[in-house]
Each structure stands twice: as C-alpha cells, then as structure tokens.
Amino acid sequence: MKSPFAHFTLIAACLVLAPMAARAADSDADSESESVSKAAPKSPPVAEKREHSVTHHGITLTDPYAWLRDQSYPTVDDKDVLDYLNAENAWFEARMAPHKALTEDLFKEMRARIKEDDSTVPQKDGDWLYWSEFEEGAQYRKWYRKPASGGDPVLLLDENAMAEGLEYFRLGALSVSKSGRYLAYSTDTNGSERFTARIKDLETGDLLADEIPETLSGLIWLAGDSMIAYGKVDDQWRVNNVRLHTIGTPAAEDVEVFKEEDVTFRVGAGLSAQDDWLIISTGDNETSEVRLVRADDPTGEQILVKPRRKGVEYDVDLRDGVIYVHTNDNHVNFRLATASLDNPGEWATVIGGADDFYLTGVSLFKDFYVVEGREEGLDQIEIRSYDNPERSTYITFPEASYVTGLSNNPEYDMRKLRLSYESMVTPNSVYDYDVGSGKLELLKQQEIPSGYDASLYTTERVMIDARDGTKVPVSVFYRKDRDQMNGGPGGPLHLYAYGAYGYAIPPGFSTTRLSLVDRGFAYAIAHIRGGDDLGRRWYLQGKAFERRNTFNDFVDSARGLIKLGYTSQGKVTASGGSAGGELMGAVINQAPDLWGAIVAHVPFVDVINTMLDDTLPLTPGEWQEWGNPITDKEAFAYMLSYSPYDQVVAKDYPPMLVTAGLNDPRVTYWEPAKWVAKLRDVKTDSNELLLKTNMGAGHGGKSGRWNSLHETAEEVAFILWQMGLAGE
C-alpha cells in the first residue's frame, strides 16, 4: 500500500459488517427521523399488498411488496414508501422505549472501554512521520504529520470540522504526494459511497480548486505529483475505468486511460513496490486481468501481463523489472511465480501451491519479500530472501488462535516491519518486527480505560461435524466463571458468521462483545464455508450451486455447540450483516426454533429478484458469486430454493431486529423492508419483529464512532431483552 495512511478502497463486492465491533453512536440519537410521529404507535405497521408478478423460465413469482422499491431510485421520494419506513421506525422506537435505560447503560459501558483521546502509532514515510488521533469526546479523527528529523506536529485534516452540520460523514481515500507537498482525499456525506475528491496544498494549507466528483477508489499520485489516477463510479455504482486528473485542470478534462467493457468486471489500480509502475487490475469474483504502465508516463503504452482466462485469478507487483505473480492458475490455494517484462505471460514458479497452505498475498521490499497466508485457518507471516529461495523465517506468536498480518509499511526499504496482532482474548496490538535480529517489539496495545483482565477469559477452537461430515471450525470466547452466571452451564451463546465472497472472519478482539460475555454469554464465530478461512476451496464450497453448505454449516455449528454443552436449545442468538444477513434469513427458514433472537444488518434477502435485475448496481458483478438466474434456468431454480424472502412461509419465527440504510447502494433498502413486511403478514408467532432504517446513511449504518456505538448498544439491548436478561 503506497500511502502513509492505511486508507480503504471500496472495490470489494460486499461490505462485511464486523461481529459486534465498535460500529458506534451518540446517546442522543434516539429518533431516526423528524417525520416519525410523536405519538407512540400501538401496533406494528401493516404494509399494503399490491399485485405484482413476473415470469422467468416458466415460473411466475408474485411479489406484493415490490412497490416498496421507489421507481425514482436512487432518489427515494415516494410518499407511500417513506411513510411505511417511518412507521416501521416509529414502531422500533416504541418497542425499544422501555429498554432505553438499558441501551444507555450499555452505551456508557461500551464507551468506557474506548480510550477517547487515542492515537495510532506514528509511521515514517519519506521525510515525515504520519499518524491520526481521536480527541476526547470527538466523533472523528484528526490526521497529523511531523518531520522525521524532529519538529512540531502539523494538522493535515480534521474530520470533525469537515463533518460539522452533516448527518453523515465518511473519509475515503487519503494519499500524500511523493514530494510530501499535496494531500488528496475523498469524502462521502450521505452514505451512498459516491465520494468527492479534493486536494490540499500542505505548504500553504489551502484547498486547490480541483474537485473530482463521483469517485470510488484510491487516489494515486503519478508523474512527479502532477497527476492523480482514480476510478469514477457510473450510474450503476460500478467502477469500470482508470482516469487521470492533472492538477490545476477541471475534472471534465480528465483522461480515461483504461475502460472495461465487461459489465461484470470491476477496475482498480495501485502502485508497484518501487512506485515506478501503475498497476491496473480488472476482474470479477473468479477471473482477473492486469496491465502495467510507467508511473512517470501514465498515458504511455500499457503492457498486458496475461489475457483473462475464466477461473484464473492473479495479481502482480514488480521489483527491479521482475514481475511477481500471485495466482491460482494451477492450484486452488495459489502459487507465487515470476516473469519478465519482455515476456510477462510466461510464469516460473517460486513457491508452488499447496493443499495445507493458503497463500493469500505477497509484499515486496528492497532486501526481502513477505509471504502471508493461512495454515489450518491460522494466519502465517513468512520472510523470504530473493537470493536464496530456500531461506525463510516465520514470525511466531504464543497463542493457539490469533489474527496477525502486515500493517502499514509504506517504504520500500523497510528494516522493521509494522505488524498487527490480536486474539479473542488479547486486545489489538501493534508490533515492529526487526527483520535482521528477528526481535518483536510491542509498540502499543489497545487500552481499555474501564479495565480489562485477560486472565478472566478464555478462548477455544472446536471442530463441529456438519451434516455432510465436513468439520467446521468454531472460535468460542467466554468468561472462565461463566458456569456461575445465568443459571450455570448451557447458558446463552451468541453466534456470528458471514460466509461469502471468500472473506474469512478472523477470531479477533472486540470491546463491545464484552457486554454480552460479562453477562454470561459465550460468543462464537463459526468459520463456515463461503469464507476462505480454511483455504480457497473452503470458499468455493459455499458459493453458487454449493451455497446451501453455508447455511447448513451455521445451523449445524449451533446444534454442535448445544451438544457440546456451550449452550442449549432456544438460548442461541445470532447475527450477520449483508451477505451474512442473507445467512440469517436462510437459517430462520431452515431451523426457526433453534434461535432465541436474530439480528440481521442490511440483509441481502431478496436474492432472486435482485439477481434478476441487471440494472441494479451490484447485480452483473455478482453473477459469478451466486449464479445468473436470467440466463441459467438451473441457477434460477437453485437460488429460488433458498432466497430468504421467497422462502418465508406461515410458521413461527424467532424474535428479530432488522436494519437497513436508505442510501445503501450494496443492499438496497427495500430488501429488508419487503422481508419484514412479508414476515409480518404470514408468521404465526407473536415474537418481536423490528425494522430500523437509517434515513440518512448507507450500508455501514451511522457514521461517527459514538453514533455507531449507540446502534451496537441497541443491538445488545434487543438481544438481552429477548433472552430475558434486560433486568428491568
């Protein structure tokens, strides 16, 4: 990552909501919309049914709640739609009102675990040290630097000032030019993930006139800091291009240097290890293609590394004119190869693919390179020599289960590597690893101001048999004195998973999780198929026509934890977001009596209708993940067989809290809204069913660390209420 800051890029197909991490909110954020009625409703809203049907492959689908999709989307101004969403919000407020004190207590408890005046560990990049800070009480960060040779800190950006007066604010890409003079950054002010980029002159402190709208990518400095490469998002929220902005010129004059014509592919770009090549990548969820162009001449001739071939993924970096290729072309768990610029498509193996080691990435430095991967699901970091391929050093850690990886290492000539480390028991820790001596130095460990005694807790990794005989790993975290809490063994347990896109849920640390665990819950993460926790094959066994494995693994994990005595029937609560919200929808259809409470964040539950609509932002790019029901009758039938919205039937369902974001471009607001409306109509129980729609936010909920934290407190309060542990 060629930036002094660990900025994010938004190219992934689906945002993963962290398992009860500090997603966070302000204690005065009690009302979701000014338009919510002041009089508390006495009953839940009932959505009108309107006749609507479509026929595909000879099968007619009826959808009486299709009208909840505003026809002017992404503008949402249909009065009937807004009235329904506001009515659901009013019902949420009314039902949660008796538990407001509990929510506020949980919020204060969670906030007390967060060091308010906190900062990142400074990291050197060129002539400067860079870091960010939170001030006490502040919702957002401030970004700083100071001369590496010594001197006073200089404020680069104050997110709090930028967010003032806004309901939503999010900083996107953040990139300092190679000379250190300019700062490029992008912001989103409504949750739609359409960022506007600006440039600040750090010598004068002035904003340049340059303004680049509609970005959704990193901001990459090129050509002696005279240009920025970026990706512009189209009307369907797809980045299919790389453009060049010349400093001091209107964005309308920006030059497009690459355009992807396949609507299922997305485009991204980055710099090589030595900053001398711009690397342009395009791909979908299973196929990729890379081009190279000189960073000092970005409009020059591009080198195609290797033409795309369906099912072959690869990414590259360069060192001293040698291309390093990370690819799955001959092994599902990837290999590392090299190639020459003269013959970039001829790849010679350096590290072969292996069944027992999943090679997830390679980082090139001046005197060594770093291999990252997973063995039996556990993160591994290996230092390797260019000159002696047989010489390698593993960085070892004492805990049996943990999360680790390279952190912010912006310079090519690194002597000490910055690492991150945590486990379900150990708070987030920042280390420097001296490559020469092999010594690990702890620079900082997350501080818990209200107190945290790691000796009170334990974590275990258990293997549970799924119904097809596959062993599914589950990480479990609980207090050692749990048997003395809430009625002894078999107490409540919260189960979390995601299970899609090859995204592994790491067994990491969370301060908000303690609010359940300190009340006698066990907290478990099921490493189900669909993620790549146990290698790339683990992911492939949970996608497309094997998607049901993901749902079965989660249900079987819950039943296995009951059998092992961690919990008991009806005392398992569960949560998931986005594709993990789809998981929640599927498992309540499959085993509704198993769950004590369900929280589904921005759930992808209207699978078949979304995948049939190629005008929606994500749909074409998602066909490789889920299947294309438009052209493939078999994919249509399989998808319909598990689509949570379509599989809702008249039966008892567990208590549920569902969230949505009006401006969410990833899982559109009408998916959870339609799902809740249908559940209200047909379910045969009297259990709670609540829908909360953030009317000014998107996929990740409210912005600001306290605003987000308050939403987490609401989630925990709902779970405690449904488990009879609200204490009121």
Burial class (CB in 10 A: 0-12, 13-18, 19+), 107: buried
* Predicted confidence band of residue 74 (pLDDT cuts 50, 70, 90): confident
- What is the residue-averaged pLDDT of the chain? 92
CA distance 628 to 257: 30
Q: Which tens digits make up the pLDDT trace of 124-141?
A: 999 999 999 999 999 899
Q: Which of 710, 601, 659, 644 is nearest to 85 (CA)?
A: 659
Per-residue pLDDT at 21 exceeds 80: no
Q: Identify the pLDDT of residue 621.
A: 85
Q: Identify the pLDDT of residue 3.
A: 40
Q: Identify the pLDDT of residue 70.
A: 95
Contact 82/700 with Cβ under 8 angstroms? no
Q: Identify the pLDDT of residue 487.
A: 61
Within 13 Å, how many C-alpha atoms sit on residue 30's CB side?
14
Contact 118/109 with Cβ under 8 angstroms? no
Is 413 a catalytic site residue?
A: no
The catalytic position among 217, 510, 578, 643 is: 578
Q: Which tens digits make up the pLDDT trace of 346-388?
A: 999 999 999 999 999 999 999 999 999 999 899 999 999 998 8
Burial class (CB in 10 A: 0-12, 13-18, 19+), 474: buried
* Predicted confidence band of residue 490 (pLDDT cuts 50, 70, 90): confident
Q: Which tens digits make up the pLDDT trace of 46-71?
A: 999 999 999 999 999 999 999 999 99
Tokens 């549970």 identify what position? 464
Tokens 């309308």 identify what position? 252
Structure tokens at 544: 């497309």
* Predicted confidence band of residue 26 (pLDDT cuts 50, 70, 90): very low
The per-residue DSSP string of 443-457 comes to: EEE---TT---GGGE
CA distance 509 to 20: 10
Contact 673/68 with Cβ under 8 angstroms? yes
Query: At CB < 8 A and 24+ separation, what contacts does 37-40 make?
Result: 37/86, 37/87, 37/90, 40/90, 40/93, 40/94, 40/97
Is 296 a catalytic site residue?
A: no
Q: Identify the pLDDT of residue 702.
A: 65
Strands (E), 607-672: 656-661
CA distance 162 to 164: 6
Task: Give the burial string for 254-280 (b: 16+ CB within 10 Å, else e).
Answer: beebbebeebbbbbbbbbbbbeebbbb
Per-residue pLDDT at 486 exceeds 90: no
| Helix, strand, coil shares, percent, the chain, to 5 | 20, 30, 50
Q: Identify the pLDDT of residue 698.
A: 63
Contact 339/305 with Cβ under 8 angstroms? yes
Within 13 Å, how many C-alpha atoms sit on residue 162's CB side?
22
How far lies 537's CA from each of 239, 315, 582, in Å? 28, 19, 21
Contact 555/590 with Cβ under 8 angstroms? yes
Average pLDDT over residues 536-556: 97
Structure tokens at 192: 């739609």
Task: Give, for 382, the enclosing helix (H) or strand (E).
Answer: strand 378-384
Q: What's the gap between Cα 146 and its chain centre?
A: 31
Beta strand 656-661 with 689-694: parallel, antiparallel or unpaired?
A: parallel
Per-residue pLDDT at 16 exceeds 90: no
CA distance 490 to 483: 8
Average pLDDT over residues 489-503: 94
Tokens 């990459």 identify what position? 220
* Predicted confidence band of residue 708 (pLDDT cuts 50, 70, 90): confident
The catalytic position among 254, 532, 533, 664 is: 664
Per-residue pLDDT at 532 exceeds 90: yes
Per-residue pLDDT at 36 exceeds 80: no
* Predicted confidence band of residue 697 (pLDDT cuts 50, 70, 90): low
* Predicted confidence band of residue 237 (pLDDT cuts 50, 70, 90): confident
Q: Identify the pLDDT of residue 618.
A: 78
CA distance 596 to 576: 15
Q: Which tens digits make up the pLDDT trace of 401-451?
A: 899 999 999 999 999 999 999 999 999 999 999 999 999 999 999 999 999
- The answer for residues whose C-beta is within 8 angstroms of residue 563's C-beta and 6 or more apart is none
Q: What are phi and psi of 441, to 5 degrees?
A: -120, 120
Burial class (CB in 10 A: 0-12, 13-18, 19+), 662: buried
Least confident of 74-78, 260-264, 613-617: 613-617
Contact 494/712 with Cβ under 8 angstroms? no
SS3 call for 403: strand
Per-residue pLDDT at 520 exceeds 90: yes
- Per domain, the residue ranges of the chain are 24-111+451-722
Q: Which tens digits make up the pLDDT trace of 274-297?
A: 999 999 999 998 999 999 999 999
Q: How many CB atoms lie within 10 A of CB 630?
A: 17
On whether the pTM is more than 0.85, the answer is yes
Q: Which of 45, 107, 78 is nearest to 706 (CA)?
A: 107
Task: Give, for 133, the enclosing helix (H) or strand (E).
Answer: strand 128-133
Per-residue pLDDT at 167 exceeds 50: yes
Average pLDDT over residues 520-530: 97
Contact 690/574 with Cβ under 8 angstroms? no
Average pLDDT over residues 534-561: 97
Q: Which of 509, 529, 539 is nearest to 401 (CA)?
A: 509
Q: Which tens digits make up the pLDDT trace of 82-119?
A: 999 999 999 999 999 999 999 999 999 999 999 999 99
Percent of the chain scored above 90 by pLDDT? Answer: 85
CA distance 485 to 571: 14
Percent of the chain scored above 70 by pLDDT? Answer: 93
Is 578 a catalytic site residue?
A: yes
Superfamily of the domain at 24-111+451-722: Alpha/Beta hydrolase fold, catalytic domain (3.40.50.1820)
CA distance 428 to 511: 10
Least confident of 320-329, 383-392, 517-526: 383-392
Q: Which of 720, 655, 660 is nearest to 689 (CA)?
A: 655
Per-residue pLDDT at 31 exceeds 60: no
* Predicted confidence band of residue 2 (pLDDT cuts 50, 70, 90): very low
CA distance 297 to 176: 20
Q: Identify the pLDDT of residue 544.
A: 95
The catalytic position among 494, 527, 601, 699 is: 699
